[in-house]
Amino acid sequence: MRLLFEIDTKDYNLNGKIVIRPSVRSIIIKDGLVALVHSEKYNYYKFPGGGIEANETHEEALIRETLEESGLKVIKKSIKPYGIVHRIQKGVRGEDVFIQDNFYYFCDVENSVYNQNLDPYESDEKFTLYFMDPVDAIHENRQNDHGPKQKIMILREARVLEMLIQEGYFNK
């Protein structure tokens, strides 16, 4: 899978505690719109997805996380790799270093929308599924104040959306 870009804040201590947390993200495009999860509390948009659990394949994590966050059920045979965003920074939970590879995959989903199964923080943020014009989502992520929410993640999603637009994925 190709490297889309790297985010390196250079604010960490490599001699300290290191946490590695890989994740998967779904890119679901229908009729020129992209499926995104909106945080009603902090007003940002993100691709459905999340952390890969122990003994879980990327595909299994993608299917599970997408269903939990958005209520959309990924069709396994439709999953195709897009790229990786590599992130390294000082951790926000006391880690000296936080490393995350975000694996982005194109996929199709069933037509039905099922119930979400949100983590407590996701419920608190009121995660809601939207099919959005990617330009609108980029604008919201780049222009709005998102309070205490980590800006690196929000800008990462905007940058991936910009790449998808530049590469013509919304013109197909």
pLDDT at residue 156, as a whole number: 96
Contact between 122 and 98 (Cβ < 8 Å): no
Residue ranges of domains in the chain: 3-166
| Fold of the CATH domain 3-166 | Nucleoside Triphosphate Pyrophosphohydrolase (3.90.79)
Residue 53, classed as helix, strand or coil, is coil
Phi-psi region of 10 (alpha: psi -120 to 50; beta: other; left: phi over 0): left
Residue 93, classed as helix, strand or coil, is coil
Residue closest to 121 by CA, chosen among 93, 161, 98, 143 = 93
pLDDT at residue 172, as a whole number: 59
pLDDT at residue 83, as a whole number: 98
Residues of the chain with pLDDT under 70: 172
